[in-house]
Copies of this chain bind each other. A is one copy, B any other.
Amino acid sequence: MAKTDLTPLQLSVMRSLWKRKEASVTEVHADLVASHQLVPTTVATLLRRLEERGLVDHRAEGRQFIFRALVEEERATRSMVAEFSERLFGGDVPRLVSHLLKEHELNPGDLDRIRDIIAAHESGEGKSS
Number of copies of this protein chain within its complex: 2
Residues of A within 8 A of B (CB): 8, 11, 74, 77-78, 80-82, 84-85, 87-88, 93-94, 96-108, 110-111, 113-115, 117-118, 121-122, 126
A-B contact pairs, 29 of them (CB 8 A): A8-B87, A11-B87, A74-B103, A77-B99, A78-B99, A78-B104, A80-B88, A81-B96, A81-B99, A81-B100, A81-B104, A82-B104, A84-B84, A93-B104, A94-B110, A94-B113, A94-B114, A96-B100, A97-B97, A97-B101, A98-B114, A98-B117, A101-B118, A102-B117, A111-B121, A111-B126, A114-B114, A114-B118, A115-B118
